[in-house]
Structure 1
Amino acid sequence: MYSQLFQHIVDTLEENILSDWQLEQYAEKIGYSKFYLTRQFKKETGLSIGAYIRRRRLAVSAFLLLHSDESILDISFECQFQSQEAFTRAFKELYQMPPGKYRNLMRTINFKEEQEMTSNEVKGWLLTGTNPSLYTIKADHEVFHTGSKSGYLGSTKPAEEGQFGTLMQVFSAKNWIGKRMKMSCFIKTKDAMKCGAWCRIDSKNGDLVQFDNMDNRSIHGTTDWNYYSIVLDVPEESAAIHFGVLLVGSGEVWIDGVSFEEVDHSVPSTNMTSSASKLPLEPVNLGFDEL
């Protein structure tokens, strides 16, 4: 489960992603040593703070290449690269093509997608929920955290608490049997009544085995990109893993950077189906005297 400190780290990084700051300045702003921050960040994401900042700056540069007419030189300096050559090398390493080619190719592709896109169709993803007709999904190339697109789920009509939609997919549990699995992602929201990432593991008979929908730490209102994680065990009887992002009521939510990794048992499970630890050790109020 992510911590308030980690959330504070991500918020600070995002607020100053294009600032010419050194790690010491981020640490001073957050109020911890740079060594402690680096350790905590690596533990949660598997990335160093420097690698995260670099990836985010490249994502910003991809957006600027696609949606502005700024020169590649200006974009490279705006995204804190020392030269256009250094920027081009880093961009090509992440996007597998130089920035100029990316600009030309992606503008053509995005134009075609806008012309051909069918509502509620995103390859590999499904729109489900109690009231899917109240929601829409898409791959959003205007708002993203890394890469060049994010997944979008938003209400198209007024929706109330108790009505929800999800952007989700399902895959086999075969490769995860016997492991503790961590699903992590970045989420951004706008006027969201209630939302969060979710993951559910089902048995071969379709019974729910493990589940977490962040109900005890749900996201509300308008928030910038933040990191969230779910940790579940995948027991022997598991057959299918369902995951995604859900939106209860009205609003908008974006999800990006979804990843799965095996973690050891030192990482606490967030499973919400295990109620054993919540049961009292002894019966209470047997005489009905307490109100």
Structure 2
Amino acid sequence: MNYDACIKKSIEYIEHNLDKKIELKELADKVFLSKYYFHKVFHTVVGEPVGEYIRKRRLMKAANELICTEDKIVDIALKYQFSSQEAFTKAFKKLYGMPPRQFRRNRMNAIQPSMAA
């Protein structure tokens, strides 16, 4: 079995569904692997666990929306499946080294995570 193709397919699915709830079982089922084995293969191929990958991608999309829209931070947080603005702010600050409000104020040109991650 070509695991690179399986992971590519699952990443495409993740990218198209970042604003929806994504279950590990759902991803594994799409590529005909068990949850355990899919998680193991994904981590090996991508270099990080599935959940961490999804969280980072959601935060990157949210960062783009912070810069490109005037949407409320809480609305962006909820759109990308964070349970609250506080949970979003904590995760965002961990990845980008500053809270979303400051990030938006600074209007950063490049959406690159800091080395704090």
TM-score bin (small chain): 0.7 to 0.9
Tell me the distance in 1 between the aligned counterparts of 2:25 and 2:4.
Answer: 21
What amino acid maps onto 2:84 in structure 1?
S
Name the % identity. 38
| Structure 2 unaligned blocks of 5 or more | 113-117
1:67 paired residue number = 68
Whole-Å Cα distance in 1 between the matches of residues 79 and 102 of structure 2? 19
Contact persistence 1:6–1:41 (CA under 8 A): yes
Shift of 1:31: 2.5
Q: TM (normalized to structure 1)?
A: 0.36
Q: Give the residue type in structure 1 aligned to 2:95.
A: L
SS at the partner of 2:7?
A: helix
Q: Give the RMSD, CA atoms, in angstroms.
A: 1.8
- SS of 2:70's equivalent in the other structure is coil
CA distance in 1, matches of 2:84, 2:70: 19
Conserved in 2, the CA contact under 8 Å of 1:61 and 1:76? yes
Q: Is the 8 A contact 1:12 1:30 kept in 2?
A: no
What displacement does 1:16 show? 1.7
Residue 10 of structure 2 is matched in structure 1 by 9
More strand by share: 1
Query: Which position in structure 2 is the counterpart of 1:23?
Result: 24
1:87 aligns with 2:83: no
- 8 Å CA contact 1:91, 1:98 repeated in 2: yes
Pick the structure with greater CA Rg: 1
- For each residue in 1:64-100, what CA deviation from the matched residue of structure 2 results, as whole angstroms up to 9, or x when unmatched? 1000010000000001000000000000000000000
Unaligned runs of 5+ in 1: 111-140, 142-147, 150-291
CA drift of 1:8 comes to: 1.5
Structure with the greater relative contact order (CA < 8 A, sep ≥ 6): 1 or 2?
Answer: 2
Aligned mates of 2:6, 2:30 — CA distance in 1 = 12
Find the counterpart in structure 1 of residue 101 from structure 2.
100
8 Å Cα contact 1:27-1:37 kept in structure 2 = yes
Cα deviation per residue 1:193-235 (whole Å; 9 max; x = unaligned)? xxxxxxxxxxxxxxxxxxxxxxxxxxxxxxxxxxxxxxxxxxx
Could you list the structure 1 runs, at least 4 aligned residues long, displaced by more than 3 angstroms after superposition.
none
Q: Confirm or deny: 8 A CA contact 2:65 2:71 kept in the other structure.
A: yes
Q: TM-score, normalised by structure 2?
A: 0.86
The Cα shift of 1:9 comes to 2.0
